[in-house]
Amino acid sequence: MRMHFLAAVLAAGSIVAATAFAGDSAPSPQAGSRTASTAPAAKQIRVEKVSPAYWRVVMHNPPFNIFGPETIPQLNEAITSIEKDPDLRVVVFESDVPGFFLTHYNFIPPLTDTTSMPNGPLGMPQLPDMLIRLSKAPVVSIAKIRGRASGVGSELALASDLRFASREKALLSQFEVGAGFVPGGGPMARLPELMGRGRTLEVVLTGNDFDGDLAERYGYVNRSLPDAQLDAFVDTMARRIATFDKQTLADIKAQVDAVSLPANERIAEGWDSFIRSVQRPAAQTRITQLMKEGLQKNPDVERRLPVYTGQLGGDAPAK
């Protein structure tokens, strides 16, 4: 039986997973054996250079924009380019997959596909390293959120400088508690500065969805806009920022960062907690149940993730 994400962790400890999440079926292009995981991954991150000063980073991993170890080198390449480009002033993160901005981590590949990656330039594991570097880059980053932003999608948005959401189509969440593990991309460190302790705990302890308007009210996003106006609003703002002096933008960001960003160590601690928590039996049980319900396969599970996580071990989710 092929060892999958959570099963690989459990096998390293005292608990052996009884069920592989994807069964014994042939590996998908994303999941694959060691041969498949070392083969070139399909392009999931596309950089569009609107102008030398204004780029778009487009997430494209249909049907659900799931993020996994195969995505990490591509996002790292984009963030490294953002950090180093001498002319870039503003970058917009967006999706071209209907209904999904960016969602949770891929549970199918072996955990070692992630943990065997070398640390990033800051000396931390790749995902937290990239998110910190994005926050501190001398470039203004904007998340344009249309569709579901759960797990890593929420964490990428929180690492961005500005967040704008579709009123009708955005859903933000940190769903992880419902699956039995701790979020790994730093929301416990970032959200209190944005929305305070109580609302942070509401987000991370319930795993519920926050639509655009509620996310705006809580401070999860800067603004919620009618979906028909979102593209033009973000594009107009990005083009305006792109006309300003790069060093001035970088200096302003650095001053705000100094009093608002969490210490790097706090982000790293969140990742360590994630790795520890996925070894626990509760996570094994709950993620196995989710995979049986159709996580990463069934559109209804991906679209209504809080419904399914909220009823694990209880009655079947309402259809």
Residue 299 lies in a domain: no
Bridge partner residues of 90 (DSSP): 54, 140
Summarised one tens digit per residue, pLDDT across range 231-284 is 999 999 999 999 999 999 999 999 999 999 999 999 999 999 998 998 899 998
Residue 77 structure tokens: 């390449």
Beta strands in the chain, from DSSP E residues, in sequence order:
45-51, 54-59, 90-95, 100-102, 140-145, 148-150, 162-166, 171-173, 210-211, 223-225
Domain that holds residue 93: 43-279
Least confident range from 107-121, 131-145, 292-306: namely 107-121
Instruction: Judge contact between 235 and 197, C-beta under 8 A.
Output: no
Give the pLDDT of residue 313: 64
Confidence of residue 314 (pLDDT cuts 50, 70, 90): low
Give the pLDDT of residue 40: 62
Residue 208 lies in a domain: yes
The contacts of residue 86 (CB under 8 Å, 6+ apart) are 246
Least confident range from 108-112, 200-204, 244-248, 285-289: namely 108-112
Coil/strand/helix, residue 95: strand
More confident residue, 319 or 20: 319
Residue 233 lies in a domain: yes
Give the pLDDT of residue 24: 32
Q: What is the rounded distance in angstroms from the CA atom of residue 157 to the CA atom of residue 122? A: 20
Give the pLDDT of residue 110: 86
Summarised one tens digit per residue, pLDDT across range 161-217 is 999 999 999 999 999 999 999 999 999 999 999 999 999 999 999 999 999 999 999
Residue 1 lies in a domain: no
Number of domains in the chain: 1
Residue 274 lies in a domain: yes
Residue 289 lies in a domain: no
φ and ψ at 186, to 5 degrees? 95, 15
Q: What is the rounded distance in angstroms from the CA atom of residue 124 to the CA atom of residue 118? A: 9
Residue 142 lies in a domain: yes
Residue 112 structure tokens: 């070692």
Give the pLDDT of residue 243: 98
- Percent of the chain at pLDDT > 90 equals 79
Q: What is the rounded distance in angstroms from the CA atom of residue 238 to the CA atom of residue 175? A: 30
The pTM for the full model equals 0.88
Residue 23 lies in a domain: no
C-alpha dist (Å) from residue 56 to 73, 78, 90, 141? 18, 10, 9, 10
More confident residue, 58 or 108: 58
| CATH number for the domain that contains residue 239 | 3.90.226.10
Say what angle helices 5-12 and 281-293 make with each other, to 10 degrees. 160
